[in-house]
């Protein structure tokens, strides 16, 4: 077991108890003792950075019930996937601010639906100010940077400008920048933001920025966790954040275990985070699920103990109180 407890990061706040990315979700996360919170960042048509799980907002807001926005429903191709709905880049901030948040997973978290319609969308600036007041950290995830660049938006510049305006650019406050696209991480660093860069890795697929640049020859995410892949990380990347499936099984070339992956990263001076720790059966690996329904809690303690045993430096959690109870027990 590791000698130090990993950093606990409230994944979109505390979405196990409140609709994600709402003020109450972030406030509850800090109240429950997280070290940092994680806002996902996308952009509006007038260049305002807002925090949403995706740029498509019908699953997390009441936009579909708003007749004045019915004509905005459309289909787009986002990072290789066909998506239908309403998109932040088709709304001004003033328009988005009229929407109200709702629970994204109502069948798994029906209790959270009691808060549907109660809170507006937040901007990145709102989360930065909230975290500063709470004395906590922020892990900013930049979403779909290559896609937005195709629309004329430089997310790295927008993020850098917002961090400067909010007083988060100089390394004094605990800030991390992360993305599934390493290109935008480098662009943020080039703009003088003092913060560690963490490369998010899925267990399958390829990064959108490299697919756009290299096509079929783009490396997949799994190749990054090999020793050669870690050695080839772009200069300035200070860590990796792994889908927990990559730590719980045997993954990648040579089918290496989670502890091996973490040890190889640590040897190269990289921090290692993992996502996302959730107690519901629907999200647990098969070994740790109970025989009850998807919404029931399985043996999350067993799964999380195994993750902690790999030596990870940080964990993203939906239920900060459960995360604190497990991961701070060293």
Q: What proportion of the chain, given as a percentage, has pLDDT over 70? A: 97
- Domain-embedded: residue 214: yes
Q: The domain that contains 147 carries what CATH number?
A: 3.20.20.190
Instruction: Give the largest Cα separation in the chain, rounded.
Output: 56
Cis peptide before 276 (omega within 30 of 0): yes
The tens digit of pLDDT for each residue in 122-131 reads 999 999 999 9
- Domain-embedded: residue 153: yes
Q: Which residues are bridge partners to 176 per DSSP?
A: 139
pLDDT confidence band for 3 (50 / 70 / 90):
very low
Q: Which two tokens stand for residue 145?
A: 């940077």
- Domain-embedded: residue 65: no
Total structural domains in the chain?
1
Cis peptide before 299 (omega within 30 of 0): no
The tens digit of pLDDT for each residue in 166-180 reads 999 999 999 999 999
- Domain-embedded: residue 104: no
Query: CA–CA separation, 92 vs 88, rounded Å?
Result: 8
Query: CA–CA separation, 208 vs 87, rounded Å?
Result: 19
pLDDT surpassing 50 at residue 1? no
- Domain-embedded: residue 100: no
pTM listed for this prediction: 0.96
Residue keyed to tokens 């100089």: 170
Q: Looking at residue 251, what is its pLDDT?
A: 61
Residue keyed to tokens 């988060």: 168
Query: CA–CA separation, 40 vs 192, rounded Å?
Result: 21
pLDDT confidence band for 256 (50 / 70 / 90):
confident
- Domain-embedded: residue 304: yes
End-to-end CA distance of the chain: 8
Owning domain of residue 41: 7-55+121-327
The tens digit of pLDDT for each residue in 314-328 reads 999 999 999 999 999
- Mean pLDDT lowest among 7-16, 226-235, 252-261: 252-261
pLDDT confidence band for 5 (50 / 70 / 90):
confident
| Overall average pLDDT of the 19-43 stretch | 98
């Amino acid at each position: 077991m590791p000698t130090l407890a990993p950093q606990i990061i409230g994944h979109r706040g505390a979405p196990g108890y409140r609709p994600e990315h709402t003020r109450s979700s972030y406030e509850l996360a800090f109240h429950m003792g997280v070290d940092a919170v994680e806002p996902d960042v996308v952009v509006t048509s007038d260049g305002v950075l807002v925090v949403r799980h995706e740029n498509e907002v019908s699953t997390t807001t009441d936009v579909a019930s708003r007749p004045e926005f019915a004509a905005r429903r459309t289909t787009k191709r986002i990072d290789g996937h066909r998506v239908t709905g309403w998109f932040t880049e088709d709304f001004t901030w003033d328009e988005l601010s009229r929407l109200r948040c709702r629970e994204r997973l109502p069948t798994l978290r029906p209790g959270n639906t009691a808060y549907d319609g109660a809170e507006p969308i937040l901007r990145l600036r709102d989360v930065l100010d909230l975290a500063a007041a709470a004395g906590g950290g922020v892990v900013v995830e930049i979403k779909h940077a290559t896609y937005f660049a195709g629309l004329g938006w430089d997310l790295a510049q927008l993020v850098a400008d917002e961090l400067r305006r909010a007083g988060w650019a100089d390394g004094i406050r605990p800030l991390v920048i992360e993305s599934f696209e390493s290109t935008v991480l480098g662009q943020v660093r080039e703009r003088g933001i003092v913060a560690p860069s963490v490369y998010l890795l899925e267990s399958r697929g390829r990064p959108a920025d490299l697919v756009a640049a290299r096509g079929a020859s783009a490396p997949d995410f799994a190749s990054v966790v090999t020793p050669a892949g870690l050695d080839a990380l772009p200069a300035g990347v200070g860590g990796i954040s792994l889908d927990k499936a990559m730590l719980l099984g045997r993954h990648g070339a040579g089918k290496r275990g989670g502890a091996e992956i973490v040890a190889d990263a640590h040897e190269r001076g990289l921090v290692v985070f993992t996502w996302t720790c959730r107690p519901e059966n629907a999200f647990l690996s098969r070994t740790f699920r109970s025989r009850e329904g998807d919404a029931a809690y399985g043996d999350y303690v067993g799964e999380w103990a195994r993750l902690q045993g790999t030596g990870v430096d940080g964990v993203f959690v939906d239920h900060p109180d459960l995360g604190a109870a497990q991961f701070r027990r060293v």
